[in-house]
Amino acid sequence: MKVVEQIKQPIAFEMELFEQKFQLSMSSKVALLNRITHYIVNRKGKQMRPMFVFLVAKMLNNGEVSERTYRGASVIELIHTATLVHDDVVDDSNRRRGFFSINALWKNKIAVLVGDYLLSKGLLLSIDNNDFDLLKIISVAVREMSEGELLQIEKARKLDITETVYYEIIRQKTATLIAACCSLGAASVKPNSPEVETMRKFGELIGMAFQIKDDLFDYGDAQIGKPTGIDIKEQKMTLPLIHVLNNCSPKEKKWLINSIKNHNKDKKRVKEVIAFVKAHNGLDYAIDKMKAFQKDALVILDGYPDSQFKDSLQLMVNYVIDRKK
């Protein structure tokens, strides 16, 4: 059995019901919108985010979920989908999960409006049900994701990212959404309990490990084959590169920065940068950091009684850093 299927097993019923509720939460009187949201729903990814919501809720609540849990999962998926639609416009990307992106099929203007629509649907789902605690969790996540993206753009111009700034960028850009999923799961069944913060921290640690794993893919992987070097082409400063930049000689640093600033489209030069980062332990360093975040997340889970939901969350934590794509 595939790992993702194994993780899903204890929440299979909830995930099936969630699918129906999620589709309903997107519905509109505008035919064009319904056509687009139908397209989105039929091209869904692994749905890791709702899985976190349900697994955390069931672990903390003796295997039970509430209507609030379904709303929390729907809200996070609506918001996440809205950010993906907007991201594709920002990145001028024509593909998403192997399919055409919304902006490729319906142009930027419609894609931006659809993103806005999904965002408002998510917020209203919380407001209409007086889930103000859930709404606050979501709103903080949206604010942080925007700040993280802008901080990354600002730093990419100067290429002056320290490791501390890098962690702040990935915490906001990636980890904050997974943290929101886990705290939503807790808040949906144990509102205002210490678990809401504990699970937020748990999700944040997984998110940090998840993003470092993504950064490592840029340097190649047995499954993917050749190194991609996409981050270098886009002048994105990732942990392997930051570590090497901060630990090489001034002459090497000058060459690296010049390569990224002025030769980032030159395939041969990008290959040289990748080889340099590998030779100077950039990847080993990033792997160690990723494993430290993973370990801290597992320590939090150790504090909870054994259950199939806890087992699935442990599998999820390990899957995040063992995944092949």
Where in the chain are the domains? 3-208+304-322
Are the C-beta atoms of residues 59 and 14 closer than 8 Å to each other? Answer: no
d(CA 301, CA 319): 15
d(CA 24, CA 26): 5
- What is the b/e burial string over 74-111, where b = at least 16 CB atoms within 10 angstroms of the residue's CB? bbbbbbbbbbbbbbbbeeeeeebeeeebbbbebeeebb
Q: What is the pLDDT of residue 15?
A: 92
Q: CB 305: neighbour CB atoms within 10 A?
A: 7
- Please name the residues in contact with 5: beta carbons below 8 A apart, sequence gap of 6 or more: none
CB 212, CB 290: distance < 8 Å = yes
DSSP class of residue 306 equals -
Write down the pLDDT at residue 206: 95
> What was the pLDDT predicted at 42?
67
Token pair belonging to 278: 């590998």
What number does CATH give the domain 3-208+304-322?
1.10.600.10
Q: H/E element holding 100?
A: strand 99-100
Q: Which residues does 180 contact at the CB level (< 8 Å), separation at least 6?
A: 76, 137, 138, 140, 141, 200, 203
pLDDT digits (tens, 9 = 90+) for 76-114: 988 888 887 777 777 677 666 566 777 777 777 888 888
Strands 99-100 and 95-96: antiparallel
Q: Where are the alpha helices (DSSP H) in the chain?
A: 3-8, 12-25, 31-41, 48-60, 67-90, 102-128, 132-158, 163-170, 176-189, 194-217, 230-233, 239-245, 250-262, 267-279, 282-302, 308-322
Of 261, 321, 263, residue with least CA distance to 294: 321
Instruction: Count CB-CB contacts under 10 A for residue 51.
Output: 23
Q: What is the pLDDT of residue 225?
A: 44
Asked if 22 and 41 count as a contact pair (C-beta separation under 8 A), the reply is: yes
One pLDDT digit (tens) per residue for the chain, 325 residues: 688 889 999 999 999 999 888 888 878 888 888 888 877 776 666 788 999 999 999 999 999 999 999 999 999 988 888 887 777 777 677 666 566 777 777 777 888 888 888 889 888 989 999 999 999 999 999 999 989 988 888 887 777 788 999 999 999 999 999 999 999 999 999 999 999 999 999 999 999 999 999 889 888 754 444 457 778 887 788 899 999 998 989 999 999 988 888 888 888 888 899 999 999 999 999 999 999 999 999 999 999 999 999 999 999 999 988 887 6
Amino acid at residue number 49 = R
Residue 179 amino acid letter: A
Q: Which two tokens stand for residue 72?
A: 């929390």
Q: What pLDDT score does 161 carry?
A: 82
Cα atoms in the Cβ-side hemisphere of radius 13 Å centred on 141: 32
